[in-house]
Structure 1
């Protein structure tokens, strides 16, 4: 492959991650009106009414995510390719990042398919609709714990890089370790129905959501910088890369 074309693909892969983030925001907050979420303590009648009132938006939100979420794969791959530069080839950290990242699209789409099932037939028994709603929120919020390992692997890679021109800046390594910890509380949604650790709570929903936005934006900025640096080194360009 032509080297210049390769780096165009690399940059496009980074922007694929941005497309997923934008689609996720539109699907949940605008089209599906899933923000804020229903509460675990809501009655079956309340949940069913929400599903009925927002049926069209929820179904189209799932369609949007179904189209866009697969773009997370190139974003995951370009992240591991940059980590591979740190390890001098495919290594433990780059493979951990890749294998945990490929779960993300399934972790989004499968719960969304369950939500679509709940909204698809509003005439169902309200208890069945609430059951499907519970499965969606427990799965969607609970599986975020996978990102703890994913984000931590990126942070460790950034901190152990001893190259003359590090792939990722050191602040980015510490940021990822902090964000990894902030993703952890989501796993506790399985044992509580109210409070900050419930799926609509501060620790399980809102802090990880903010952490994800910070992570995604910083990842895009740092990956674009890393790709530009690699391109300069590979093609022998003299253009200086501004520090991030």
Structure 2
């Protein structure tokens, strides 16, 4: 039975990579769904009093708890997706080892942008009857920890874009337009850098820049990258292929000359 299972099409290297690629879509969906379930769409108001903030958690206690679990689960699917990107980046000729490793390292750090907010949200909803000021402080910590740590994702995007740009083959692994998209999107997230300065307007944690622009562009990017990742996996030979020199000292143009 185990031999048949190991030899089935569901257990091939290609199949495993497809699972990892689809994980990016699942991560995006679960992350957004967590906010919907917790009744954070639209987000609660930063200018609410401690009593109003605590009231939300008291009325929607179980919804917030389920939402917290979904946000944590979204992190579970994020790592396989990033590992698949890292694996496909290795197929790019003359891509230095440090680029692929930096992308994967940033992904490991970015994982906590899913896990930590989920834990904080679960903690906030764990004792809704506590002192309202404590609930408000934990709520603020949840939103800031969710929206502010965007730099690790920018590092990932830039490494991925770099790998796409230097792929000078006639049939590159990823289209150059995807590199441009991954270079531009992180700047939509940078608006949350000053989230601690405002409780009103577009810069607050419920605002158009800090929440809506960041959240929509981030989740959409995961889906788009996952689709092109699936296409790249499909182009990989069934028996695998030789990995090009991981420590190149010359560009592809230099080698051709």
Q: TM-score, normalised by structure 2?
A: 0.84
Q: Please say if residues 76 and 101 of structure 1, whose CA atoms lie closer than 8 Å, have aligned partners that are also in contact.
A: yes
| CA 191–17 in structure 1, closer or farther in 2 if over 3 Å, else same | same
CA distance, structure 1, for counterparts of residue 197 and residue 140 of structure 2:
13
Please report how far the alpha carbon of residue 114 of structure 1 lies from its aligned counterpart in structure 2 after TM superposition.
1.2
CA distance, structure 2, for counterparts of residue 41 and residue 133 of structure 1:
12
Please report how far the alpha carbon of residue 153 of structure 1 lies from its aligned counterpart in structure 2 after TM superposition.
1.7
In structure 2, the residue matched to 1:140 is 146
Query: Does structure 1 residue 25 correspond to structure 2 residue 28?
Result: no
Q: Please say if residues 14 and 238 of structure 2, whose CA atoms lie closer than 8 Å, have aligned partners that are also in contact.
A: no
In structure 2, the residue matched to 1:55 is 61
Q: Please say if residues 188 and 213 of structure 2, whose CA atoms lie closer than 8 Å, have aligned partners that are also in contact.
A: yes
Please report how far the alpha carbon of residue 221 of structure 1 lies from its aligned counterpart in structure 2 after TM superposition.
1.2
Q: Please say if residues 142 and 190 of structure 1, whose CA atoms lie closer than 8 Å, have aligned partners that are also in contact.
A: no
Query: Does structure 1 residue 15 correspond to structure 2 residue 38?
Result: no
Question: Match for 1:96 among 102, 114, 117?
Answer: 102
Please report how far the alpha carbon of residue 232 of structure 1 lies from its aligned counterpart in structure 2 after TM superposition.
6.0
Higher relative contact order (CA 8 A, sep 6+): 2
RMSD across aligned positions (CA): 2.1
Q: Please say if residues 95 and 163 of structure 2, whose CA atoms lie closer than 8 Å, have aligned partners that are also in contact.
A: no
Unaligned runs of 5+ in 1: 236-244
Q: Please say if residues 34 and 67 of structure 2, whose CA atoms lie closer than 8 Å, have aligned partners that are also in contact.
A: yes
Query: Does structure 1 residue 228 correspond to structure 2 residue 234?
Result: yes
Please report how far the alpha carbon of residue 68 of structure 1 lies from its aligned counterpart in structure 2 after TM superposition.
4.4
Question: Match for 2:179 among 151, 173, 177?
Answer: 173
CA distance, structure 2, for counterparts of residue 87 and residue 43 of structure 1:
56
- Which is greater in Rg? 2
In structure 2, the residue matched to 1:79 is 85
Please report how far the alpha carbon of residue 137 of structure 1 lies from its aligned counterpart in structure 2 after TM superposition.
0.4
Residues paired across the two proteins, number: 234
Query: Does structure 1 residue 213 correspond to structure 2 residue 219?
Result: yes
Query: Does structure 1 residue 162 correspond to structure 2 residue 168?
Result: yes
In structure 2, the residue matched to 1:41 is 47
CA distance, structure 2, for counterparts of residue 124 and residue 171 of structure 1:
51
Question: What whole-Å deviation, never above 9, does each CA across 1:11-54 have from its counterpart, x for those lacking one?
Answer: 1110111111221222211x211121122211101100111111
Q: Once structures 1 and 2 are overlaid, which stretch shifts more, 134-143 or 210-219?
A: 210-219
Q: Please say if residues 30 and 73 of structure 2, whose CA atoms lie closer than 8 Å, have aligned partners that are also in contact.
A: no
In structure 2, the residue matched to 1:188 is 194
| CA 203–64 in structure 1, closer or farther in 2 if over 3 Å, else same | closer
Please report how far the alpha carbon of residue 130 of structure 1 lies from its aligned counterpart in structure 2 after TM superposition.
0.1
Please report how far the alpha carbon of residue 194 of structure 1 lies from its aligned counterpart in structure 2 after TM superposition.
2.1
